């Protein structure tokens, strides 16, 4: 398997707003907080030594409350805002060392941008809006029209090419903005509060659309949001910021189950854990299993020793086959069967390790025994009992 590489490396990026940033930088080195720095110098700390990497093909969500620095950060990535210090490395190129011409070329080739205010031109049709980035690249008219049509099809707007953008709903206008960004076939999408202006229902639809679209286009997406539920839904990983600093980086599950500070605990305290925790995070190791060649007496003894009324049956490599119960094992003894191979119930529900608890609970509710958890190759990872789910939700 190819190793996933880092597409963006953000290294010690600091941004000071003001005419004398060196004063604020010195105080930052001394550990003075941003509020105190502003009182002493009049300089505002936007970012304070931000460090993290964005992996190729992932959606990384930068989130935090207003004033946390998240929008400043995304604009420093492509130097819409000039950072005061630090480096942003894109494919081994330090963006902060580029000349203006080199920077403009990088933006055209590498970046697609989608912002909260859709930024559409009201005098242009949907197709003409989608073509705009390609026009800036001097792509020939026929080619750019085809690329724009392909991008509109990707976001579900095929047939709307000649429509006036003012006729579109907010969600459709944002789709046009997304199509315009995708039309230039960028490596990286920068999305700053892209869905914040939408109604809640349309916003949820767009979040789902983005995740579905990402399965096809596999872009590297840096997504800024102030909405924790949005971050949990779409982010492969989350960077949580406060006062211009990174507080914690991890998957939604890592942040929820292992918050790094009291601030993070308060931030995630009202999250619906069933929408974040996975089957693998609440499962237990299977205390005992059976194999097809085991005899029914051997299986019954194993059940008795473990205090169980059934055992899951696996191959030697732990591929799940089915289940055998104490009643069927006793019947096999009465019928003089030498193995359990013929009495395995193979029609059993099971869940994948990465399935959310919200989907698992309904399956578990109908099971009198523990629910098996398997990996993508159907190998048994563990089992879920109702008590472990209740315990996880109560923590």
Residue range(s) defining the domain that contains residue 365? 280-394
Which of 271, 304, 339 is the C-terminal boundary of a domain? 271
Mean pLDDT of 190-197: 86
Q: Is the pLDDT of residue 1 over 50?
A: no
pLDDT digits (tens, 9 = 90+) for 320-348: 999 999 999 999 999 999 999 999 999 99
Please choose, from the candidates 343, 253, 225, the residue with its C-alpha nearest in 3D space to the C-alpha of residue 295: 343
CA 197 to chain centre: 21
User: What was the pLDDT predicted at 324?
Assistant: 95
Which of 271, 300, 332 is the C-terminal boundary of a domain? 271
Say which residue, 40 or 116, is predicted with more confidence: 40
Is the same domain home to 154 and 78? Answer: yes
Q: Is the pLDDT of residue 2 over 60?
A: no
Into how many domains does the chain fold?
Answer: 2
User: What was the pLDDT predicted at 47?
Assistant: 95
User: What was the pLDDT predicted at 88?
Assistant: 96
User: What was the pLDDT predicted at 175?
Assistant: 87
Q: Is the pLDDT of residue 239 over 70?
A: yes
pLDDT digits (tens, 9 = 90+) for 352-383: 988 888 888 878 877 788 899 999 899 999 99
Apex CA 164: angle with CA 160 and CA 170, to 5°? 80
Mean model confidence pLDDT for the chain: 89
Say which residue, 297 or 4, is predicted with more confidence: 297
Segment among 119-123, 142-146, 287-291 with least mean pLDDT = 119-123
Which of 271, 301, 335 is the C-terminal boundary of a domain? 271
Please choose, from the candidates 304, 300, 252, 302, the residue with its C-alpha nearest in 3D space to the C-alpha of residue 276: 252
Query: Does residue 366 lie in a domain region?
Result: yes
Query: Does residue 1 lie in a domain region?
Result: no
Is the same domain home to 99 and 66? Answer: yes
Cβ-based neighbour number of residue 260 at 10 Å: 14
CA distance 352 to 378: 8
pLDDT > 90 fraction of the chain, expressed in percent and rounded: 50
């Amino acid at each position: 398997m190819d190793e996933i590489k880092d597409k963006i490396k953000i290294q010690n990026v600091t941004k000071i707003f003001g005419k004398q940033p060196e004063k604020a930088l010195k105080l930052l080195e001394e550990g003075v907080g941003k509020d105190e720095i502003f009182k002493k110098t009049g300089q505002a700390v936007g970012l304070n030594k931000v460090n993290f990497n964005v992996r190729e093909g992932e959606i990384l969500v930068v989130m935090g409350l207003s004033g946390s620095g998240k929008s400043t950060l995304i604009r420093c990535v492509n130097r819409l805002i000039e950072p005061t210090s630090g480096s942003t490395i894109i494919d081994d190129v330090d963006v902060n060392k580029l000349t203006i011409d080199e920077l403009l070329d990088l933006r055209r080739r590498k970046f697609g941008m989608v912002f909260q205010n859709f930024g559409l031109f009201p005098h242009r049709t949907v197709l003409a809006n989608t073509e705009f980035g390609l026009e800036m690249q001097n792509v020939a008219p026929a080619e750019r029209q085809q690329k724009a049509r392909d991008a509109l099809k990707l976001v579900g707007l095929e047939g709307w090419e000649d429509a006036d953008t003012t006729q579109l709903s907010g969600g459709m206008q944002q789709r046009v903005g997304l199509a315009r960004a995708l039309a230039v076939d960028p490596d990286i999408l920068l999305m700053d509060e892209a869905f914040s202006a939408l109604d809640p229902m349309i916003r949820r639809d767009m979040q789902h659309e983005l995740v579905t679209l990402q399965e096809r286009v596999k872009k590297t997406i840096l997504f800024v949001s102030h909405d924790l539920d949005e971050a949990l839904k779409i982010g492969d990983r989350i960077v949580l910021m406060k006062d211009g600093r990174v507080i914690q980086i991890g998957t939604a599950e890592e942040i929820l189950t292992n918050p790094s500070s009291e601030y993070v605990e308060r931030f995630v305290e009202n999250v619906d854990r069933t929408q974040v925790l996975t089957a693998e995070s609440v499962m237990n190791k299977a205390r005992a299993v059976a194999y097809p060649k085991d005899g029914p007496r051997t299986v019954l003894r194993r059940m008795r020793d473990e205090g169980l009324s059934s055992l899951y049956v696996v191959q030697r490599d732990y591929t799940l086959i089915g289940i055998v119960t104490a009643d069927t094992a006793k019947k096999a003894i009465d019928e003089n069967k030498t193995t359990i191979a013929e009495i395995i119930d193979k029609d059993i529900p099971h869940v994948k390790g990465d399935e959310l608890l919200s989907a698992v609970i309904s399956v578990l509710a109908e099971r009198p025994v523990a629910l098996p958890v398997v990996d993508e190759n159907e190998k048994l990872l563990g089992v879920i009992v109702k008590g472990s789910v209740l315990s996880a939700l109560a923590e």
